Amino acid sequence: MARKTFFCIDAHTCGNPVRLVAGGGPILQGRNMSEKRQHFLREYDWIRRGLMFEPRGHDMMSGSILYPPHDPENDMAILYIETSGCLPMCGHGTIGTVTIALEEGLITPKTPGQLRLETPAGLVKVRYTQEGKKIKTVKLTNVASYLEAENLHIMCPELGELRVDVAYGGNFYAIIDPQEHFPGLQAYTTDKLIAWSREIRQQMNERYTFVHPENPTITGLSHILWAGDTLHQTSTARNAVFYGDKAIDRSPCGTGTSARMAQWYAKGQLKPGQEFIHESYIGSVFKGTIEGETTVAGKPAILPGIEGWAMVTGLNTIFLDDEDPYVHGFQV
Ligand code: PYC
């Protein structure tokens, strides 16, 4: 019998789960997190599937594994694991991971109140606030985010032809604003949004190629962001972000918020100094800001600031046992 044990700490960021693997993660080869991600995908993806999919996880499950930084100036390095795969970057995952790591004493920041994190998509800087042992807010400055393409057209079952923009915020997003054609998000059930998203993602990836111009390991459109009416008057916009095969993000989605801000910025609808309060499908909120302006392969880009909060929910020691027919998880 071979049984692997993973010591996990669970949390949620504004409603979306984060499972931090604090012990039991594999030793990975690579000079940076992008290379380590490739090694993980080649040899250890069974760990992701076992810890994220049913029966140990569920459709929305998302998590991370911590590694020592490659550059001694930085505080830690993060690998993201999720039902959707091994993301280059995950915003809600970062907010949850930072909260867990600080509250549970997994890291000691070089500078109190600040962290420098190596992610597969690049360096992410963090500022956090604390009351006693509790982390109250985590604000990350994400990787450069930009509008990749606009006014693409795609056929959606039932909704017909839709206009789609594609933006990068650490992952590639198709951004669809159904209000241009139909009433707001509340008009659709999650089952419909999920089924349409799966179909649209497949069509988009068959028809177009998405590769990050500065990191060719970041490829493919993985997420669909449906824009919609806000629930609260104080919010700027609301979304339902689809990922994996059956997930709608319960948080406002950090990389999705970054992509949406980059889209608005490129169209002149968002300027440095303006806040972008982004609501999730369940009404939880991230505060978005523009922390810097830059370019990616000649395209105007921003460094999005994303602020949110997370709550640690418990400790979870998980076994992956070879005798279990569902050791590597399943999806229905
Ligand atoms: O917060 O970036 C995010 C994210 C990606 C997938 C789910 N959440």
pLDDT tens for 77-112 read: 999 999 999 999 999 999 999 999 999 999 999 999
The Cα–Cα gap between 67 and 81 comes to 13
Mean pLDDT of the chain: 96
The pLDDT assigned to 108 comes to 96
The pLDDT assigned to 186 comes to 80
Complex ipTM over 0.90: yes
Residue 323 C-alpha to ligand 1 middle, in angstroms?
33
Residue 184 has pLDDT above 80, yes or no: no
The Cα–Cα gap between 224 and 195 comes to 11
User: How far, rounded to the nearest angstrom, does the alpha carbon of residue 41 sit from its chain's CA centroid?
Assistant: 17
pLDDT grade, residue 181 (50/70/90)?
Answer: low
Helix (H) or strand (E) holding 96: helix 91-103
First and final C-alpha spacing in the chain: 27
Residue 180 has pLDDT above 80, yes or no: no
pLDDT grade, residue 29 (50/70/90)?
Answer: very high
Identify residue 314 by its one-letter amino acid code: G
Mean pLDDT of 141-158: 95
Contacts of 125 (CB under 8 A, 6+ apart): 114, 115, 116, 117, 140, 141
Ligand 1 site-directed mutation target among 171, 172, 241, most atoms within 8 Å of CB: 241
Q: Which residue has the tokens 């992610």?
A: 119
Q: Are 1 and 322 in contact (CB under 8 A)?
A: yes
pLDDT tens for 185-218 read: 888 899 999 999 999 999 999 999 999 999 999 9
The pLDDT assigned to 188 comes to 87
The pLDDT assigned to 179 comes to 72
If one counts every other C-beta atom within 10 angstroms of the C-beta of residue 2, the result is: 8
Residue 92 C-alpha to ligand 1 middle, in angstroms?
5
Residue 3 C-alpha to ligand 1 middle, in angstroms?
30
Ligand 1 site-directed mutation target among 52, 224, 243, 280, most atoms within 8 Å of CB: 243
Portion of the chain with pLDDT greater than 70, in percent: 99
Q: Is the CB of 92 under 6 A from ligand 1?
A: yes
Residue 63 has pLDDT above 80, yes or no: yes
Ligand 1 site-directed mutation target among 253, 284, 287, 307, most atoms within 8 Å of CB: 253
The Cα–Cα gap between 108 and 276 comes to 31
Q: Are 164 and 148 in contact (CB under 8 A)?
A: no
The pLDDT assigned to 130 comes to 97
Q: Is the CB of 288 under 6 A from ligand 1?
A: no
Residue 226 C-alpha to ligand 1 middle, in angstroms?
14
The pLDDT assigned to 157 comes to 83
Residue 234 C-alpha to ligand 1 middle, in angstroms?
22
Q: Is the CB of 254 under 6 A from ligand 1?
A: yes
- Residue closest by Cα to atom 5 of ligand 1: 90
Q: Are 290 and 302 in contact (CB under 8 A)?
A: yes
The pLDDT assigned to 228 comes to 87
Portion of the chain with pLDDT greater than 90, in percent: 93
- DSSP secondary structure of 26-85: PP---SSHHHHHHHHHHHTHHHHHHHHSBTTS-TT-EEEEEE--SSTTSSEEEEEEETTB
Least confident of 74-83, 102-111, 152-161, 168-177: 152-161
The Cα–Cα gap between 83 and 62 comes to 6
Residue 158 has pLDDT above 90, yes or no: no
pLDDT tens for 276-324 read: 999 999 999 999 999 999 999 999 999 999 999 999 999 999 999 999 9
pLDDT grade, residue 229 (50/70/90)?
Answer: confident
The pLDDT assigned to 288 comes to 98
Residue 182 has pLDDT above 70, yes or no: no
Q: Is the CB of 177 under 6 A from ligand 1?
A: no
- Please identify, by atom number, the ligand 1 atom nearest to the C-alpha of residue 258: 2
The Cα–Cα gap between 279 and 15 comes to 12
The pLDDT assigned to 148 comes to 98
Residue 248 C-alpha to ligand 1 middle, in angstroms?
10
Mean pLDDT of 5-15: 98
Q: Are 20 and 96 in contact (CB under 8 A)?
A: yes
List, by residue number, the catalytic residues.
Answer: 90, 253
The pLDDT assigned to 183 comes to 67
